[in-house]
Amino acid sequence: MNRFQLKPVAVALLALVLLACGATLLSPATQAADDKKPAGPKPALTVSTVRPQSTSMPIRLAANGNIAAWQEAIIGSESNGLRLADVLVNVGDQVRAGQVLATFANESVAADVAQARAALMEAEANAAEAAANAARARTLQSTGALSEQQINQYLTAEQTQKAKVEAAKATLSAQQLRLKKVQVLAPDSGIISARAATVGAVVPTGTELFRMIRKGRLEWRAEVTSSELGRIKTGMPASIVAVNGAELKGKVRMVGPTVDPQNRAAIVYVDLAPANENTPPARAGMFARGEFDLGTSSALTVPQQAVVLRDGFNYVFSLTPDNRVQQLKVKTGRRIGDRVEVLEGLKPDTAVVVSGAGFLNDGDLVRLASDSNGAPAAK
């Protein structure tokens, strides 16, 4: 009787146990199911953006050419058949106008000068005698003591001796000039660029002894195509870099009057200022690259780090309203500092990614960088 009365109680307890076990078993399953729900896409990178800026950039025209002497003087011998006794300068020496560069042996020339001086003294003595005879003849002309023919002879002898005196003077001047020419003098200030003079050599008149760069001035002879020639004007500044690293400043002295029919290029002559003390000096004959400064113009620019080079093309990434990036192919131009000119492919009001652009691909989701207060950075 008591057994049947306890049976409902046992059933109730069993039900409670089953409910507790079911709750325990269902709780992890539910959590696991919740974990399997798909999460939202995560940003690939945190980036910052800027808008293109209008910047004033220089307009430059690049050219190649050689550095050459402004003018090269050839210094030759003015004495014939004399022996070089001494050579006082060498290649690379700086000389001033009138400086003695070399000397010839002058013994034979000095003897010729002495002989010419003696001949002049003899001519002057004969002229004095002839002048005295002519004076006496003039006093006797009215007396009839001398015939007219004799008087004319004395007068003619006077004129002849005067002419001989002048000839002797000219001979003496020529010999003195030869004596002066035994010293080879610099015709101008400059730098000795070549030397052919050798001590002991006997050289004829006109033999080249030295070459000299006048004033030490150099010029850059730039080759410019005929299509670009009209953009270059006299006085225009230029910047030149030689192959040895020498950085030079110059100014256009003259634009060549002719164009080479073979390569359709003209020569532009640029006077060069001396190189800085911190750079190696430029030398005549060096190859150099340079740019002519044609002025300035306005350009649409972006930071250099915003431009990504891929497969030989330049790209920038713009930011869409849903925080995804779009790859834009652009054509770049001039560069100044960390700014790059964009010629094509970008609108002035388009925000482009700056930081991290090199790690992005087209369509990537990004997070826009925030400032210290948690507000989004300005686009």
Report yes or no: 90 and 192 within 8 Å, Cβ to Cβ. yes
**106-181 and 74-102+188-214 share a CATH fold:** no
Give the pLDDT band of residue 172 (cuts 50, 70, 90): very high
Which segment of 46-50, 128-132, 217-221 scores lowest on mean pLDDT?
A: 46-50
* Sign of the dihedral through C-alpha 157, 163, 166, 170: negative
Give the pLDDT band of residue 195 (cuts 50, 70, 90): very high
The residues facing 214 across adjacent strands are 190
How many angstroms separate the Cα of 5 from the Cα of each of 13, 14, 16, 18? 14, 16, 19, 22
Q: For residues 324 and 328, what is the distance between their CA atoms, to the nearest angstrom?
A: 13
Please state the rounded mean pLDDT for residues 329-350.
89
pLDDT, the chain, mean = 84
DSSP collapsed to 3 states, 71-117: CEEEEECCCCCEEEEEECCCCCCEECCCCEEEEECCHHHHHHHHHHH
**CATH fold of 74-102+188-214:** OB fold (Dihydrolipoamide Acetyltransferase, E2P) (2.40.50)
Please state the rounded mean pLDDT for residues 18-44.
53
pLDDT at 39: 53
Please state the rounded mean pLDDT for residues 250-256.
94
Extract the tokens encoding 240: 């030149």
- Domain parsing of the chain, residue ranges: 41-70+217-379, 74-102+188-214, 106-181
Cα 288 from chain centroid? 6
Extract the tokens encoding 280: 């190696």
Question: How far apart, in Å, do the first and last CA atoms of the chain sit?
Answer: 87
**CATH fold of 106-181:** Helix Hairpins (1.10.287)
49: nearest Cα among 306, 344, 229, 338: 306
What pTM value is reported for the model? 0.64
Under CATH, to which class is 41-70+217-379 assigned?
mainly beta
301: nearest Cα among 103, 135, 77, 52: 52
pLDDT in tens, 58-97: 888 999 999 999 999 999 998 888 999 999 999 999 999 9
